[in-house]
Structure 1
Amino acid sequence: MSQWEVRLSNSKGLPYFFNQETKESSWDAPPGLSEDEIKQLQGAELLTSGKGSHAGQVRASHLLVKHKDSRRPSSWKESNITRTKEEAIEILRGYQAQINGSPAKFAELATLHSDCSSHSNGGDLGWFGRGQMQKPFEDAAYGLEVGKISDVISSDSGVHLVLRSG
C-alpha cells in the first residue's frame, strides 16, 4: 500500500502529495505511481474538485510595460527604463487599441514588447493561485472571464494588460 496521500495546502488552497513515511511533499504526482494508483490515494478527490489539478487557480498572460518607478526598472529590452508611469500607460493604451480584444494579437504584442521574461511565451504566466501574484494583478486575473482582456492594471512591477486564458 502506498505511503502517499493527497492533502490540501493551507497557504495556497491547492492539493499536494504527501508521503506519510518520509514526510516528503510535492506539488507533482510522485514518480512511479500510475494514474489509477493516484486515484486510489487517500484524499485523491481533492485533485478533481473544481478544475482538475488547477482547482482554485487561474491561467493568465500579460503584457507588461515598466516605468522608472517600477520595482525593477529594467528588462530584457532595456537595461535602464526611464519612462514615467504616464508614458508607460500611453504605450500600453496603444497596444490595447491594436489588440482590440484579440488573444492572438495580445500574444503577438506581448512577445514583441512585454518587459517581462514571459514575453518568450507570448506573455503566458501559466497557472497560479491566490497569493502568488501582486494583489492588483491577482484581482484583475480572477475578475476576468476566460478569453477576456483587462483594462490597464498598475502594480509594483509596472502597468499591465491581463488576458485570462484559463
Structure 2
Amino acid sequence: MAETGLPAGWEVRHSNSKNLPYYFNESQKQSRWEPPSGTDTEKLKAYMAEHHSQRELGLDSGGLNGNANVNKIRASHLLVKHKDSRRPSSWREANITRTKEEAMSIILGHEQRIRSGQTSLGQLAVSESDCSSARKMGDLGFFGKGDMQKEFEDAAFQLKPGEVSGVVETASGLHLIERLE
C-alpha cells in the first residue's frame, strides 16, 4: 500500500454518503474528516492527489432529472485557510497557523498561476485547497441561493460558466471560485 503519511493505526477510507475520503483508526474506532495529529502532511498531500481526486469527478452533474438543478449553479473552489478562519485545520494541516496576510499571498500566487494558464483551478485544488472538496478537484456540486456563505454565494452567482473569481473572503478563509455550470 502507498505511504499515506498518517500515524500508525490510521488509514484513509471512503465515505459513501459524502463521496469523500476520511481518516479512520480501527483500534480506536475513531473516524474524522481532518487528519490526526502527527500526520506527515506532505506525504498525505501526495497520496491524496494520486489516489483520491479525479476518479470521483464523474458525479451527478445532471441531477436525478432535467429539472433537479433549476435555479442552482455548480462551482468549484480553492480554499486557503488562516489561523483566524472559522476552523483553522484541514486535510492538509491539523493546525493552521499562517496569518491572513500569508494566506492572501498564497492564494494570489495560485490565482496568478491559474490566470496565466499554467494550471487550472481544479488541478491546483487537488493538492493546495484546504477544503475536503480538493478530492473532487474543488467541485462543490450544485447549490442554490442560501446554501453557501453569503460572500461566497454572491461571487459564485455573478460568474458565468468557465469564469474564475478574484479572491473571495468568508469566515472559512480565502477562496478562488470557478463556475462550472
- Paired with 2:70 and 2:117, the residues of 1 have a C-alpha distance of 26
- Paired with 2:70 and 2:118, the residues of 1 have a C-alpha distance of 23
* Cα RMSD (Å): 1.8
- Structure 1: 5+ residue runs without aligned partners? 1-27, 30-46
Q: 1:66 aligns with which of 81, 85, 100?
A: 81
- Paired with 1:104 and 1:164, the residues of 2 have a C-alpha distance of 16
The offset of 1:103, in angstroms, is: 10
Q: 1:82 aligns with which of 97, 119, 128?
A: 97
- Paired with 1:75 and 1:116, the residues of 2 have a C-alpha distance of 7
Alignment match, 2:163: 148
State yes or no: 1:113 paired with 2:124: no
Identity among equivalent pairs (%)? 52
The offset of 1:104, in angstroms, is: 6.0
- Paired with 2:74 and 2:101, the residues of 1 have a C-alpha distance of 28
Which contiguous aligned blocks of 4+ residues in structure 1 show a shift greater than 6 angstroms?
A: none
- Paired with 1:68 and 1:104, the residues of 2 have a C-alpha distance of 27
Larger Rg: 1
- Does structure 1 conserve the Cα–Cα contact (< 8 Å) formed by 2:113 and 2:119? no
- Paired with 2:102 and 2:72, the residues of 1 have a C-alpha distance of 32
- Paired with 1:132 and 1:77, the residues of 2 have a C-alpha distance of 25
Q: Provide the TM-score with structure 2 as the length reference.
A: 0.62
Alignment match, 1:130: 145
Alignment match, 1:95: 110
Q: Provide the TM-score with structure 1 as the length reference.
A: 0.68
- Paired with 1:131 and 1:154, the residues of 2 have a C-alpha distance of 17
- Paired with 1:101 and 1:57, the residues of 2 have a C-alpha distance of 29
The offset of 1:69, in angstroms, is: 0.5
The Cα offsets for residues 51-84 of structure 1, whole Å up to 9 and x where unpaired, read as x321110100000000001000000010100111
- Does structure 2 conserve the Cα–Cα contact (< 8 Å) formed by 1:101 and 1:148? no
SS across alignment from 2:75: strand
SS across alignment from 2:145: coil
Structure 2 CA distance for partners of 1:102 and 1:147, relative to 1, 3 Å: farther
